[in-house]
Amino acid sequence: MTVSDVIVIGREALLVAALLAGPLLLGILLAGVLIGVIQAATSIQEMTLSFVPKLIFIVIALVLIGNWQIGVLTDYFERLFLLIPVMLQ
């Protein structure tokens, strides 16, 4: 196993992590900005007002894209497991 193989595996791991976390983080960011605008407009500064909608968004997003995320993760791990015999040579 060469250094370039390790770099390729690391790059793929970072790509998978970004694919898995990206949609959730982007959705939370948008929800936070929207709630922040509403809080600024109404002068309501309640912490639970920003936390609960983000939590609800995460649950809905995981229900909608959870299968896709699990598929991406299992595909990556299958590729890693198939590389084990090559790495041991």
Query: How many domains, the chain?
Result: 1
Eight-state DSSP code of residue 43: T
- Residues spanned by the domain of 28: 3-88
Q: Which residues of 7-22 are buried (b: 16+ CB within 10 A; e: fewer)?
A: eebeeeeeebeeebee
Q: Is 43 left (phi over 0), alpha (psi -120 to 50) or beta?
A: left
52: its two tokens: 């609960």
Average pLDDT over all residues of the chain? 91
> pLDDT tier at 49 (50, 70, 90 boundaries)?
confident
Instruction: Name, in order, each residue with C-beta under 8 angstroms of 63's C-beta and a sequence gap of 6 or more.
Output: none
Residues 61-72 pLDDT 10s? 999 999 999 999
Q: Look up the pTM and report it.
A: 0.79
